[in-house]
Structure 1
Amino acid sequence: MKAILEFNLPEDYEEYNVASKAMDWSLLAWDIDQMIRSLLKYHPEEYETGEKALDHVREEIHNIMEEKGLQFPA
């Protein structure tokens, strides 16, 4: 079985980028899941408030995105 995706570049660049980086986005979600699991299991008292915990998660999302060369759509 074969699947061929075609894009009209540069018009469809954003769609092309989403399709070509799909595995990286999937791995980003897995990394976030594992990070949250680890925080809950080993450091449940580390954050005084939910806001601080969410700030940490958001910061980590941006760090992982930078490592993987990902960016949010414009």
Structure 2
Amino acid sequence: MNNHDFIHFVIARLFTMVIEFASFYMVVLLCEWFAAKRKYNIFKRACFITAVTFPMITIVIWTMIFSRHGLLY
């Protein structure tokens, strides 16, 4: 891998991370809006946001682990 390919890899990886972060942040904001609309207290809001985002984050982490070891091919 030469420098040109490495720079493209780094830019693509950073772009992917920014997109993932933005999508997770939008999901959290959507959950917060829904919880505020239902007038949940702070504990119910935290539980609701955790219940929605934890499976998504788990799937992303599992995908990264499995793809690193070549188990998704």
More helix by share: 2
TM-score, length-scaled by structure 2 = 0.50
